[in-house]
Amino acid sequence: MNRARRRQILLGAIPFLTLGTIWQMNAVYGWLAPIHIPPPMAVWGAIFTLQDSCAGLVDALQQSPGCLFTSHILSSLGRVGLSLVVGLPLGVAFGVLAGMHRRLANALEPVGVFANAISGIAWVPLAIVWFGVGWLTTLFILLNTVFWLVFFNTLLGVRGVPRVYENGVRTLGGKRREVITQVYIPGALPSIVTGIRMSMGFGWRALIAAEMIGGDRGLGFMLFVSAQEYKTEEVFLGVLVIAVIWMLTDRACLVPLERWTIERWGLVWRPT
């Protein structure tokens, strides 16, 4: 690790250490009531309170009621995963088709723009009407976000692939299938990955909101319930977990993936 990187890490840690220290001092000196700012140990302890009757790993994976902490996390992550598994292929498929056929793009784009303008959370009441409170609602909200963002970015990516690549492959004997799989999808991959990253960002937020309002499980739901019971330490815990999960997903997975794709394609990666 070179000097610049080391310095960055050290400097970057300062605000966190400062905040952490102030936090702990608050617990010791009691400047603000624990109901407003719970002591760090209480937040840590909340994990065990929530997991108290958890029998072990198997129990946790089965999301039994004794393992609240892990089961909320698993619920949220599971929904995100499911939305990716369904929304990603659909979004890419439609995006590629729309990118190749202008008419389809012209027809779908306004629908997507409008669906997105009604931001994820505004869909929740209608989703509750249709699907009731529960996982289907939250999944619907997530899918709505993921699909359109992946669709738009794929469309953009496909449009940006120079026509001459398609021509080249067609003169080698490639038919429609080869053109899609060997030209447009690889060509649009940098944009697709950006789309995945954006949809994860917005989708994660929409999920938490949807779980708060219309969910029965998950991190958002946990935040909401704990807030109602004024258990601030649980709320803090939930918020921290949300932040950590997102930072891990984005910085540790998505950004490197984006950078790898873009650099491998010979483009220049611009950090956002």
117-136: which residues touch another protein (CB under 8 A)? 117-126, 128-130
54 Ramachandran zone, left/alpha/beta (phi>0; psi -120 to 50): beta
Q: How far is the CB of 57 from another protein (least distance, A)?
A: 28
Count Cβ neighbours within 10 Å for each residue of 122-160 and write b for 16 or more, e otherwise: ebbeebbeebeeebebbbbbbbbbbbbbbbbbbbbbbbe
Query: Is residue 103 involved in binding another protein (CB under 8 A)?
Result: yes
Select from 246, 257, 259, 269 the one that contacts another protein (CB under 8 A): 246
Residue 82 to residues 77, 95, 203, 209: CA-CA distances in angstroms?
9, 20, 12, 17
Select from 212, 217, 254, 258 the one that contacts another protein (CB under 8 A): 212
Phi, psi of 175 (to 5 degrees): -100, -170
Select from 70, 155, 224, 258 the one that contacts another protein (CB under 8 A): 224
Quick note: the x/- pattern for another protein over 140-179, rule CB under 8 A, is ----------------------xxxxxxxxxxxxx---x-
Query: Is residue 186 involved in binding another protein (CB under 8 A)?
Result: yes
Query: Is residue 183 involved in binding another protein (CB under 8 A)?
Result: yes
Closest CA to 205 of 138, 112, 125: 138
By CB under 8 A, the residues from 253 to 272 that bind another protein are 264-266, 270-271
Select from 109, 216, 257, 269 the one that contacts another protein (CB under 8 A): 109
